[in-house]
Chains A and B, each alone.
Chain A
Amino acid sequence: MEITQNNFSSHEDEEKQAWKEIPQINHDLIAPLQSVNWKYLTLVGLLSLLVLAGAVAWTYQIKTGIGQTHLHNPIFWGIYIASFVYWIGVSHSGTFISGVLRLSHAEWRRPITRISELMTLFSIIVAALFIFVHLGRVWRFYYLIPYPNQRQIWPDFRSPLMWDATAIFTYAVSSTIYLYLPLIPDFALARDRVKGWRRPLYAILSLGWRGSQVEWRWLAMAVRIISILIVLVMVSVHSIVGFDFAVALVPSWHSTVMAPYFVIGAVHSGVAMVAVGLYLIRRYYHLENYIRPEHFDKVGKIMITITLSWGYLYFVDRLVTWYGRIPDEMNVIDALFYSEYALIHWFMVFCNFIYPIIFLTIPAYRTWPLGMMIVGLIINIGMYIERILIIVPGLGHPRLHYAWTSYFPSWVELMILTGSFAFFALMYILAVKFVPVISIWEEKEGRIYGRK
């Protein structure tokens, strides 16, 4: 009884202490919005130049035609579609980390959710951009939208690309909502602390938030419902991206495992990207008190599970194909395992499976932030290569052998690709100056009630 009483007092003291930390938390987490130094401006300038270079390359492609790419029959999809698939994959970071962890009431999610939700939004934007980059006549993009136009053309819903368009539109809208909802209280906090042009914008975005319990209850209810729904959307979106391939009769694509394999692959790259983001945000905004080694450890444990799942699905897919020895399928397997794509294929396996499994299973490694960023980068390199290897070898080895061919992107494609990565990074670092990168109210809630 005495021990219980002591525990109770100790808990009360802790809670009192936590309440005292609130002004400091406000200060620390609003600080990244207010400081701009020459390093930041240099980075913005550099990234803007790269984005500009990508935009110039795209303009050149629009002006002179899609022939500026090295896409040719039968390789009609190249790095544009690989990038689209990759960025959709990265977008799973927010929904998986944030949605799943919110639903499971994982306390350690608090400093991570916003960082990953921002990644989701920006990676969807970049992914959507690649749909337009891939279009030969981009000015006719509205033919993709179902509305009765002058030629009575109506999109054919039997095409998986239309499933894609529907799913990605749903996902983009949902992710924006999912990012915005928990931001309302933080915008209200920023409204009263940030001066200049952002202040009226925060006032509008915070919707006059006053922090009444009624407001909190509606917000919590909406976040809870949307968390459930967005996880379901997340699974469907990348399944549908997987269907783009799986419903085609191209060798190595037509596989029942493709949809779950795509979902796991997406989560693999998404969570790995979160590890990269966590390190960079922590390092450059000195948020060591908020993003602690234990957070990297938890993310690392999730990454082990995902790595094993990815490896399992990859093995199953390849094993069944190899065992069946259907000649058309085996041509692709041979090209991947032993022939022209062998080096890059085994490097991809190293990045996606071997390196993460070796290092992430070492507990000390998982609590090393830089190490976690490195493994995140390596997985993302591996996952990008994997997207290329899904598309190109299959298309390059059609059933008629005379049409076998290879592909290497042109300078226009590579420039647009570079610009897209810079665009993602630029949007992110600009957003850091507008959006608190750690959910302030959730962090406070965790400090006060998280121990209960």
Chain B
Amino acid sequence: MEGNEVESRDDTERPEMTLFALFPPTAPLAPLLDSLRTLKIPEEAISISSTLPLFEEPALSQWKPIQLYPVTLIAGAIGILFGFLLAGGTFVLYPLRTGGKAIFTRPVVGIISYETMMLFAIVSTFIAALIRVVWSHRSRARYDPRIDEGLIGVTVQVDRGDPRSGSVQRLFEESGAVEVVTR
């Protein structure tokens, strides 16, 4: 709760205003989101927090798809190149003639490149996802420990003085919010 107090002091200085409401888990989200769209609140200004992913909710299925595969693929390709240079480069720079084996052993380069491809792909995917988790819409989402008890948190961000803030607050209350906080 201390964190919230600190947050509220900072919030008064912000140009944006945050409206946060807690809903019972079975409250229908679709009509609420439709009404917010009617008010022309952009998708980026709405954040829904829950203790588990609500991917099954039809109301959220219209959200823009996210892409992480390009990061994985590009990092994997760099990994192949790294493995090729590491193993192949070793054979070129340190040519040890051992046991009649070829100086440049292609299967070995393949094995090393495969592993470095996987390493680069996994680490890059992980880092990219973490960056997105930490930064994406972080400022918009409100947190309340009761969300982990099953309540659904809805945060809407509008400019201070935006006339729609009153409508959003009313909408929250009419949709069955158990608590509405404005900061």
Using a CB–CB distance below 8 Å, which chain A residues touch chain B?
12, 15-16, 19-20, 22-23, 26, 146, 154-158, 162-163, 166-167, 169-170, 173-174, 177, 181, 184-185, 188-189, 192, 207-222, 225-226, 229-230, 232-233, 236, 240, 441, 444-445, 448-449, 452
Which residue on A lies nearest to B144, using beta carbons? A210
**Interface residue B160 (Cβ < 8 Å from any Cβ of A):** no
Q: How far is the CB of B128 from chain A (nearest CB, A)?
A: 8
Q: In the bound complex, how far is the Cα of B50 from the Cα of A16, in angstroms? A: 15
In whole angstroms, how far apart are the Cα atoms of A448 and B66 in the complex?
24
CA distance A406 to B58 in the complex (A): 67
Min CB gap A364→B, angstroms: 34
- Report chain B residues within 8 Å CB of A173: 119, 122-123
Q: A163-B108, A215-B133, A225-B125 are in contact. List 14 more A-B contacts (CB 8 A).
A: A26-B148, A157-B87, A166-B116, A170-B115, A185-B51, A210-B142, A211-B153, A212-B141, A216-B53, A216-B54, A217-B63, A229-B121, A229-B125, A236-B114
With beta carbons under 8 angstroms apart, the residue of B26, B72, B111, B153 that contacts A16 is B26
Q: Is B40 an interface residue, CB under 8 A from the partner? A: no
Distance in angstroms between the alpha carbons of A22 and B122 in the assembled complex: 32
> A177-B126, A225-B125 are contacts. A210–B143 as well, Cβ < 8 Å?
yes
Given A154-B94, A181-B126, A214-B136, the answer on whether A448 and B52 have CB atoms closer than 8 Å is: yes
Q: Which residue of A lies closest to B65 (CB)?
A: A217
CA distance A289 to B115 in the complex (A): 40
B178 adjacent to chain A (CB < 8 Å): no
Q: From B63, B115, B149, give the contact of A236 (CB < 8 A).
A: B115
B90 at the interface (CB under 8 A from A): yes
Contact of A233 among B53, B118, B133 (CB under 8 A): B118
Q: Which of B19-77 contact A (CB under 8 A)?
A: 25-26, 47-56, 60, 63, 66, 68-69, 72
How many pairs, one residue from A and one from B, have CB atoms within 8 Å of each other in the complex? 176
**B15 in the interface, Cβ–Cβ < 8 Å?**
no
B121 x A181 contact (CB < 8 A): no
Residues of A within 8 A of B133 (CB): 184, 207, 209, 215, 218-219
Task: Name the distance in Å between A87's Cβ and chain B's nearest Cβ.
Answer: 19
Tell me how far the C-beta of A136 lies from the nearest C-beta in chain B, rounded to whole angstroms.
21
**Residue total for B at the interface (Cβ-Cβ under 8 A):** 62
Contact B119 A169 (CB under 8 A): yes
> Is A449 within 8 A of B51, CB to CB?
no
Cross-chain contact of B69 among A225, A232, A444 (Cβ < 8 A):
A225
> In whole angstroms, what is the CA distance A16 to B25 when docked?
8
- Assuming the contacts A225-B68, A452-B56, asked whether A158 and B98 have C-beta atoms less than 8 A apart, the reply is yes
Complex contact B126–A218 (CB within 8 A): no
B interface vs A, CB < 8 Å? 25-26, 47-56, 60, 63, 66, 68-69, 72, 86-87, 90-91, 93-94, 96, 98, 101, 105, 108-109, 111-112, 114-116, 118-119, 121-123, 125-126, 128-130, 132-134, 136-138, 140-143, 145, 147-150, 153, 155
**Bound Cα distance from A60 to B121, whole angstroms:** 41
- Whether B105 lies near A158 (C-beta < 8 A) is yes
Query: What is the CA–CA distance of A166 and B63 in the complex, to the nearest angstrom?
Result: 40
5 closest Cβ pairs, A-B complex: A222-B129, A212-B141, A216-B53, A22-B150, A210-B143
In the complex, the answer to whether A232 meets B52 with C-beta atoms within 8 Å is no
Bound Cα distance A214, B149 (Å):
20
**Can you identify 15 A-B contacts, CB atoms within 8 angstroms?**
A16-B26, A22-B149, A22-B150, A146-B90, A157-B87, A157-B91, A158-B108, A166-B112, A166-B115, A173-B123, A211-B143, A212-B49, A222-B128, A225-B125, A441-B52
| Residues of B close to A212: CB separation below 8 A | 47-49, 137, 140-141, 155
Chain B residues near A162: list those with CB within 8 A. Answer: 112
